[in-house]
Structure 1
């Protein structure tokens, strides 16, 4: 019986060793091929979304600048433009977080909130904008601090 068991074992290993190079070759061919397909699909998705993301970035940058100016000085033109963006173009591209932050800032603006409250809401909006951009572009944005800015308080140095 021992001889039969050994021959069966040898036959099994012989089959495995016969098929192993074929399976290995298929896997070695398939993995890079599948990786290329996934990578190309991701690239096509980013390229398809690029016009929307660029428009979103442009509007987010503008509203961030306008709101920051409003938080420091009540300028009529900036107030008008912020409401134009609020009721118009931003609705096309904003995420829920940006919408919420914009609503809070708009409500405070209508209530004639103080400069300090507007600055805090402007700061919150800037973070909501950045988070939206990060999720859309799929990477972390790193903004450099401007000269003359205090990094801890995020307010101009006096």
Structure 2
């Protein structure tokens, strides 16, 4: 067989194989891009479906953190009773619907302290801080990962 003809046939086969490989790579890349787009679309839809729940969760988390922080610092008896009543409303009502296990645990600890020794303001303040940190951790996991950059620093007990 003519060596030049053999070289031409091999070169042609190499060109055809190269074209097939390039075509398959292009199809694979297009398929991967379509899969990424589909995953991103599904994640966006899930995010939009969760948004009303997370907004309510955030609202009640902030209210629980504020209410529990104000209870030990309120000197007005009427204001104190209103805050305690609001704590129990949150505890038994709307917060129980949206809280995660860490927030629930922190609220239970606060409620136990409030029931057994409501005059220990320092303990209530530390437990309030636990609630705030649990709320932040919950939001961080679900919604706002940037909150992970905030450190939990407790003041020294006084």
Same fold, TM-score > 0.5, yes or no = yes
Which residue of structure 2 aligns with residue 125 of structure 1? 131
What is the rounded CA distance, in whole Å, between the counterparts of 2:141 and 2:148 in structure 1? 14
- Runs of 5+ consecutive residues of structure 2 not aligned to the other structure: none
Distance 1:38 1:130, change over 3 A: same
Which residue of structure 1 aligns with residue 59 of structure 2? 58
Number of aligned positions between the proteins: 143
Worse-matched range after superposition: 12-21 or 90-99 = 12-21
1:1-158 paired onto structure 2 within 5 Å: 10=10, 13=14, 16-73=17-74, 75-113=80-118, 114-141=120-147, 153=155
Normalised to the residue count of structure 2, the TM-score between the two structures is 0.79
Q: CA deviation at 1:21?
A: 1.4
Q: CA deviation at 1:72?
A: 1.9
Conserved in 2, the CA contact under 8 Å of 1:71 and 1:122? no
- Runs of 5+ consecutive residues of structure 1 not aligned to the other structure: 145-150
Distance 1:103 1:92, change over 3 A: same
Conserved in 1, the CA contact under 8 Å of 2:140 and 2:148? no
What is the rounded CA distance, in whole Å, between the counterparts of 2:47 and 2:72 in structure 1? 35
Conserved in 2, the CA contact under 8 Å of 1:64 and 1:125? yes
What is the rounded CA distance, in whole Å, between the counterparts of 2:72 and 2:125 in structure 1? 5
Q: Equivalent residue of 1:140, what SS?
A: helix
What is the rounded CA distance, in whole Å, between the counterparts of 1:112 and 1:46 in structure 2? 42
| Cα displacement string for residues 133-155 of structure 1 (whole angstroms, at most 9, x for unaligned residues) | 111215233799xxxxxx87399
Distance 1:15 1:138, change over 3 A: farther
Q: CA deviation at 1:14?
A: 5.6
